[in-house]
Each structure stands twice: as structure tokens, then as C-alpha cells.
Amino acid sequence: MTSANQTLFEKSQQLIPGGVNSPVRAFRSVGGTPIFFKKGLGAKLWDVDGKEYIDYINSWGPMIVGHAHPDVISAVQAVAANSLSFGAPTGLELEMATLINKLVPSMEQVRLVSSGTEATMSAIRVARGFTGRNKLVKFEGCYHGHSDALLVKAGSGLLTFGEPSSAGVPAEVAAHTLTLEYNNTQQLKELFAKAGDEIACVIIEPVVGNMNLVVPHMEFLQALRELCTQHGAVLIFDEVMTGFRVHLGGAQALYGIKPDMTTLGKVIGGGLPVGAFGGRKDIMQCLAPLGAVYQAGTLSGNPVAVTAGLETLKLIQAPDFHTKLAAKTKKLVDVLVSAAKEAGVVFSAQSVGGMFGLYFSEQCPSSFAEVMQTNKENFNLFFHSMLGDGVYLGPSAFEAGFVSAAHTDEDIDFTLQAAKKAFLAIASR
Ligand SMILES: *Cc1c(COP(=O)(O)O)cnc(C)c1O
């Protein structure tokens, strides 16, 4: 008999390109059929055929307090009854701006948008307007959403023009984007020495969660901060994934480095579409209606979405929330590392706050090139074995994983038992 899942996927492919509304959901990297879900509660998910999973994707980060948290759901229901949207200011937006400024003080002023893509795209526009410069610097393996200027890969050498990494992006747009290697301080210094005064901004994931998990070297982040200050370039921390997840104050609080601008998304909407960008007041004042940089949004600051975010941010301010989340996530990676060792499988893993990375390699990678060298075949075997046993991991060796406050010791033990089986299968190949 064909499963409900299979039927949905086949029909979806007729009407939706690839059957999905975002490419990573398509399981192209691991093979097989994407799972269609109908329910989530806490750390658990149920698919359309009724199978249960422990969720380590958490909607790619937002569900940090677990699925369908009663406080979030009831707040959303209550506010929805007063209309879904006004297209005019509300007190909720002030509440959100106040809270962002309290938790991430480098965000002296903030504007709300509806996605991480919008946040980074807008932050870059403001940085360019503020500096009057065009060049944008980013790092290989970091993802900052899908706006044209960011779908760019490195040209043939340092300082050559960037090339589009997607069809449909004009070469002229890509030409302004320079891509460097993550954690390569030397390369960064060379670029600034040659072209520092042409750089409008540098955008970076301060902990990378979009090429699996890659942790920054402290001296790299420090050099980045110093070079941007020296040359008047705007340093943008893209904390869409790390914000409120690696620490209550984001990666900037964890590492003690203050960016000029920050972008937020994911956790800030608690599962509904919210993004934010903000930073130094002198930069943010370049935005319309005060300044000459245009940016707008019909649903920006939407009351229902902002309420889901506010309620989530209230919950994560509980005492020791992040300490407990980090300890739980570390426990997960530690037990997986020992299980792999016992089975004789080459494997490493690490965590930062509530984010983790699993790698089929001797050591945790620290650049895109190193991530590319991990054993993808073993990852795919691991992924499918775990999925079969009811553990839902990111469907690619190039995605980080996420733990929520709802994950229990029992969930971690269940995951470990499934992993032992998966590692044994890999070892006996
Ligand atoms: C997810 C993500 C984005 C894009 O956010 P969307 O809401 O998917 O547009 C941007 N930057 C980082 C670091 C992300 O993880």
C-alpha cells in the first residue's frame, strides 16, 4: 500500500517545483522522500502516516521552547482575535524593540521585517547607504538568505569579482560581493590592506550553522572587528540562527565582540515569520522615513507573528535557560562521540549553546573546504538509519542540528540507542 506521505509527495511535485517550498526540504542530498508532518508537541513530531519522531531540526531553529508550547499558542490565539494585521504601528512592536535592545544592546535601534532574508538584504542596503561604498564581503559556506547580492561565490582569486552562485543573478550584481575563507585571518588582512576603503560591510555568521556547524577562531573574529573599525566598514553579525540560541545575547555576547549591525530571524518569531535588523543609531537613522535608504513591508511587525516571538523570548529568559540547553546539547554530542568510538566509526561532533554539528571526520572542521571533506556517504547512511528509527535530523551533511528546551534525558537516550545501531551498520559495511 502507498503511504499517505508518498501520495502527498507525488501530488505536490505536480504543482510545487520539487514538491517543496524550500529546497533543503527535498532530501536531494540524502535521497529518499521528504517527510510530511501534521503535528508537533514539545520535542516530538508526527508525520501524516502517524509515525513519531524526535525532532532535531526544530523548524531550522525557531522552536527553541519546543513545538506547540501552551504559552505561545494561547498568546497567539488571543491576539489573533483582535485582527491579524493593521499595517499601522502597535504597542507590540515597541515591546519587541525594547526587548531586543535589552537582550542585544548593540542593537540601539531596530526595524522588524518578516524573514531573515529581508533582514540581511536590508542591513546591507543601510550599510551601503551609510558608507557610500558598494563592496560587500562574505565568507564561503555562510548563508545569509537568498537575495541577489548574497547568492555569490568567490571568483578565481582574492579581490577578483564574485560570480553568481545561482542562475538569475546578474554578474554585475555579483561583482560587488567578495567571498573569503572562514577563519582565514591572513586572507582577511590581505583584502583590507588592498581594498579596505572600498568595503561597505562585512557580513558573517559568528557561529556558522549553514555548512554544518563551524565554530569561529577567536583571533579571526577579533581581527575582523579591528579591521572593520580601522577602515570604516560596517561589521554585520548575521545572528538569524545564533540569536537567542547560542546565548541569550547571541554569539556577540558569547564571544564578547560588538558588531555595528545585527540581523535576527528564526527564534525571534517563535515559528511565525519575524526578522529584525538593527545596530548603531547613526547607521539606522539612514533608513526611510528619516534618511535616504528605502526599506518597507506590508506585514512588517505583524501583531500575531510578533506575539509568538515575544512569548518565546519571555520563556527563554527563565533563569539558566541557556546553561541547561547548552548542557543538554553537549550531553547529546558527547554520547554520540563515544558510541561512534565504540563502534570504530570515524566521527566527531561539537555544540555551541543549543546548536550542534555531527561530522564523519577525525576532527571538527573549521572551514567550508574541511566540511566538504567529511564522509557524505556515511552521513547519508546514518541519516536514513536514524530516520527509520524515529530520529529526525537535518537531511544533509551540511546542516547544523538544534535541541530545544523540550528535549528530555529520555529523548537523548532514545537517540543514543538509535545511533548505536546506525554506527554499527556503518562499521560493518
Ligand atoms: C535561515 C538564515 C537566513 C535566512 O532566513 P530566512 O528566514 O530563511 O529568510 C539568513 N541568515 C542565516 C544565518 C540563516 O541561518
Residue to substitute in 59, 117, 239, 262 for testing ligand 1 pocket (most ligand atoms within 8 angstroms of CB): 117
Let me know whether 228 and 304 are in one domain.
yes
Per-residue pLDDT band at 156 (split at 50, 70, 90):
confident
Q: Is any atom of ligand 1 closer than 6 Å to the C-beta of 53?
A: no
Dump pLDDT digits (tens) for 403-418. 999 999 999 999 999 9
Residue 203: CB within 6 Å of ligand 1?
A: no
Give the pLDDT score at 128: 98
Torsional class of 349: left (φ above 0), alpha (ψ -120 to 50), beta (otherwise): beta
Q: E strands within 44-85?
A: 44-47, 52-55
- Does 291 share its domain with 382? no
Work out the number of other CB atoms within 10 angstroms of the CB of residue 320: 9
Task: Give, for ligand 1, the residue of 241, 262, 272, 274 to mutate: max count of ligand atoms closer than 8 Å to Cβ.
Answer: 241
Q: Name the closest-CA residue to atom 5, ligand 1.
A: 116
The domain boundary residue, chosen from 264, 280, 315? 315
Q: Which of 358, 346, 367 is nearest to 400 (CA)?
A: 358
Specify whether 311 is located in the same domain as 327.
Answer: no
Task: Estimate the crossing angle of helix 409-427 against helix 321-343, to 10 degrees.
Answer: 20
**38 an active-site residue?**
no
135 CB-side CA count, 13 A = 20
Residues 110 and 146 in one domain: yes
Using one digit for the tens of pLDDT, what is the confidence trace for 371-396? 999 999 999 999 999 999 999 999 99
Last residue of a domain, one of 272, 288, 315: 315
Q: Which of 266, 359, 392, 411 is catalytic?
A: 266
Average pLDDT of the chain?
97
Question: CA-to-CA distance for 53 and 158, rounded, in angstroms?
Answer: 45
What is the mean predicted confidence (pLDDT) over 57-68? 98
Q: Do 81 and 48 lie in a common domain?
A: no
Question: The domain spanning residue 284 has which CATH number?
Answer: 3.40.640.10
Does 217 lie in the same domain as 150? yes
Specify whether 310 is located in the same domain as 343. no
366 and 386 assigned to the same domain: yes
Instruction: Give percent of the chain above pLDDT 70.
Output: 99
Tell whether pTM > 0.85.
Answer: yes
Domain count of the fold of the chain:
2
Same domain, 13 and 94: no
CATH number at residue 353: 3.90.1150.10
Distance 265 CA to ligand 1 centre (A): 7
pLDDT tens profile 65-80: 999 999 999 999 999 9
Joined together, the cell numbers standing for residue 114 give 518578516
Average pLDDT rounded to a whole number, residues 161-185: 94
Is the Cβ atom of 241 under 6 angstroms away from ligand 1? Answer: yes
Residues 304 and 371 placed together within one structural domain of the fold: no
Asked if the model's pLDDT at residue 118 lies above 90, the reply is: yes
Q: Judge if 26 and 148 occupy the same domain.
A: no
Q: Which of 286, 315, 344 is the last residue of a domain?
A: 315
Report the b/e string of 351-360 with b at 16+ CB within 10 A. bbbbbbbbbb
pLDDT score of 308 = 98
Residue 392 and residue 250 share a domain = no
Domain span including residue 90: 70-315
CA 217 to ligand 1 center in whole angstroms: 22
Q: Is the pLDDT of residue 158 over 70?
A: no
Average pLDDT over residues 343-355: 98
